[in-house]
Structure 1
């Protein structure tokens, strides 16, 4: 994939976004690195790469002979840890994640094998029962528990923190930065602050330690094998947070497809592995409600981390929208 080879560009809805790919030197270096890594694995390119440019990443699909395709990803500074985290996860939970072919930690680059069919594509092509979501969440919870002893290592790799005890201070920081642009928002957030501190204290005392939270576990971030075994990828939104915060996104997506009645069952399936530590179902369900609500704050922090320059009205509005979700009663 040398610089002179043609590529197809996909800018999606972000036609005017400036990305590293637009820098000639960066692009030459990236393409040379990909070519060298492909060759080091004894592979040869076989076709025109497709470059997907988004404000949060550069993603290149590279066809290779006999292996389908490989993927180059370049992360922005706010998620530069993703490649090294993925490599660490592959050592600790190889059945649940992709194993990178190469990682350049300093530049935030990684080269990944193809993971097969996306869960999202399976859902679009054929009827899929809620059982598939149950299998995904059961496997994901099992992986989280397996990874729990390595939380400190993940922090050392640069995974950002959104620990439960730190959330009130993070909330204050977001409000201070102008995330609440209107007087009414500021009033409501000020009134919410004592309750938020109480929720965080209760969740921190619930008996489940903070650990790795994927941050955006939807059907487009998961490969599947026979709708029974799943591979989770795209860890750029990950943080060290309460693990139950992972539940909001997949349960909400499943309910959109199958109706709200599947939510309680998915929650209970996810919680099954966590009962091994002695907590009762009632205690764990209460922790889910707290984590579900507080995950809105976690997502607001993640958004500003990935887009630190978003201090304009649009950026503040996006973050405020996430914070307003703190007022919504969790559906489970």
Structure 2
């Protein structure tokens, strides 16, 4: 069946990425697994396959009918993000109303087969069918999901989800500063000199007592699905870590400021914070915690840029990671 179906491959701007897709045996195994799982769910292919190869993942889009939403996605993550498959399956058990439930998961190989989950939030925004108020609804739902996940942090760690808890961030910072060749000696020296500020921020944030949870770490408008009016689901967990939950605000806050204007950022923040108001800290204290966490969230973003398939050139990703480390100490605030 596989030989009779045409296939297009999109490498984007990453023609030099080294991935398993180039290995005939791996490709045959991945496609064969997908075909068997599609058949197990009573699905038959109805059109060409579309492959997207990136340094951090391989996606294959299978058409299962003539409709726009009649598609199934195979995803293989890079080894350092291979936890995503097992995490996706676990989230479907723990918080099914907030995520896409996989059709199949091969945790050992980091493979997932996912149904279509509805339109991307980005497309809904582009069509003018939603605005910043929808972002506030989405972030409130995301926060409630994080609250529900706080009892599962150790189980997530056992699945291989990386750690980025507040107490670990000084060590994470040290590794990023010393290990990234994209940082020149003067920049590295300056970052070392600012390390005491990082320690103060971590100590202050920890003092508010907010429990750790899952941080998506890249929650922009193309990582949310809008399957129904007022309902959102979250996907693409390859950048995730276990961290202070408020670090998740960094990316959506920037997205809202850029698309809708900075005047909407405070409403977004408060909609996100509302599900956390029963934990003890006052609203001003939660807002201060959000300001600290969104700053520290830059470290999670910096780490995630190195989750690549082995052998892929890292120059561009190292530069992106270095940029995030430098942004840790910028004076600008997202709120």
Q: Which TM-score applies when normalising by structure 1?
A: 0.95
Q: Distance in 1 between matches of 2:259 and 2:58?
A: 30
Give SS of 2:12's match: coil
Shift of 1:179: 4.8
Match of 2:225 in 1: 223
Shift of 1:306: 3.8
The answer as to whether partners of 1:151 and 1:211 remain within 8 angstroms in 2 is: yes
Aligned pairs for 1:79-158 within 5 A? 79-158=81-160
Give SS of 1:95's match: helix
The answer as to whether partners of 1:3 and 1:32 remain within 8 angstroms in 2 is: no
- Specify whether residues 13 and 275 from structure 1 end up closer, same or farther in structure 2 by C-alpha distance, changes over 3 A only: same
Q: Distance in 1 between matches of 2:230 and 2:202?
A: 35
Shift of 1:60: 0.7
Q: Distance in 2 between matches of 1:277 and 1:236?
A: 29
Q: Which one is further off, 79-88 or 4-13?
A: 4-13
- Specify whether residues 314 and 45 from structure 1 end up closer, same or farther in structure 2 by C-alpha distance, changes over 3 A only: closer
Match of 1:42 in 2: 42
Give SS of 1:318's match: helix
Q: Match for 1:173 among 172, 175, 183?
A: 175
Q: Distance in 1 between matches of 2:291 and 2:278?
A: 20
Q: Distance in 1 between matches of 2:110 and 2:152?
A: 21
Q: Distance in 2 between matches of 1:314 and 1:91?
A: 37
Q: Distance in 2 between matches of 1:12 and 1:311?
A: 15
The answer as to whether partners of 1:132 and 1:227 remain within 8 angstroms in 2 is: no
Q: What RMSD, in angstroms, separates the aligned Cα atoms of the two structures?
A: 1.8
Aligned pairs for 1:44-83 within 5 A? 44-65=44-65, 68-83=70-85
Give SS of 1:34's match: helix
- Specify whether residues 313 and 221 from structure 1 end up closer, same or farther in structure 2 by C-alpha distance, changes over 3 A only: closer
> What number of residue pairs does the alignment pair up?
332
Which runs of 5 or more structure 1 residues have no equivalent in the other structure?
Answer: none
The answer as to whether partners of 2:138 and 2:232 remain within 8 angstroms in 1 is: yes
Q: Distance in 2 between matches of 1:23 and 1:84?
A: 24
Q: Which TM-score applies when normalising by structure 2?
A: 0.94
Which runs of 5 or more structure 2 residues have no equivalent in the other structure?
Answer: none
Q: Match for 1:302 among 294, 301, 304?
A: 304
Q: Distance in 1 between matches of 2:4 and 2:31?
A: 9
Match of 2:286 in 1: 284
